[in-house]
Amino acid sequence: MGFTEELRNWGQEQRCQAAVKALEKNRFTSVYCPNKEAAVSYIVQEAAEATTIGFGGSRTVVDLGIHEQLAAMGKELLDHNQPGLNPEEKMAVMRRQLTSDLFLASANAVTLTGNIISIDGNGNRVASMIFGPKKVILVVGRNKLVGDVDEGLKRIKALAAPLAAKRLNIDTPCAKTGFCIDCKTPDRICAITVILERKPRLSDFRVLVVNEDLGF
């Protein structure tokens, strides 16, 4: 690693650590992970007592490559994006995620003041984040850290939402152009905005802040 890269990595680590401290002040259990391997190790440990594990459709969690490891542990994986599911079966899986032992997902942005920002089309991910599962773990890469809520919302609309729409092959303008135009289409992916200012009172809520770029 060259000196320039060392400096960049150091700067990113300071941002991650600042986010961890801010999240802790807002009552979220927050852990700094120097890399995705550390995040995987943490999740595997926390999953030991779980029987059912829900997945919120997160590319960040997919980037961890953790599915096979959890399946090998004998866990029932509730993943509505698994191949071969029809719409009714997908809906049934999403409903079961609400009462899973462990729910794994990511947020679209986390502020350096300790707020967690997520925008959904259906609301299944944010619903399971807020209340229901016995334990929630959000994995957030350093690329999702922002200064404040306004910056986070701009980041989501400008970057995350168009890429998510493209990934899901949704019929929205941003999936074709890569730019948000605040559309009114039926398939609009930005239908629900949730900002967590403090930890939900009845939830066991963990946030892993990873010093790597994960998801989008």
Tokens of 113: 């003041």
CATH number for domain 3-49+59-65+103-210, candidates 3.40.50, 3.30.1050, 1.10.3470, 3.40.1350: 3.40.50
Is residue 34 within 8 Å of residue 9, measured between CB atoms?
no
User: What is the average pLDDT score of the chain?
Assistant: 96
The b-or-e profile of 116-125 (16+ CB within 10 A means b, else e) is bbbbbbeebb
* Rounded Cα distance, 70 and 112, in Å: 31
Torsion of CA 109, 115, 116, 121, to 10 degrees: -80
What is the bridge-based pairing of β-strands 116-120 and 192-196? antiparallel
pTM of full prediction above 0.75: yes
Q: Please name the residue ranges forming H helices in the chain.
A: 3-25, 36-46, 59-64, 67-72, 87-97, 124-130, 149-155, 161-167, 173-177
> How much of the chain, in percent, has pLDDT values that exceed 70?
100
With pLDDT > 90 as the criterion, what percentage of the chain qualifies? 94
Which whole number is the average pLDDT over 83-92?
Answer: 96
- How far is 150 from 143, CA to CA, in rounded Å? 16
Window from 48-57, 95-104, 113-122, 175-184 with minimum mean pLDDT: 175-184
Confidence at 9, pLDDT banded by 50, 70, 90: confident
Contact in structure between 114 and 20 (CB atoms under 8 Å):
no
Q: In sequence order, what are the residues at sequence separation of 6 or more whose Cβ sits closer than 8 angstroms to the Cβ of residue 122?
A: 94, 191, 192
168-188 tens-digit pLDDT: 899 999 999 999 999 999 999
φ, ψ for residue 107, nearest 5 deg: -105, 165
* Eight-class DSSP state of 197: S
- What lies within 8 Å, CB to CB, of 49 at 6+ separation is 101
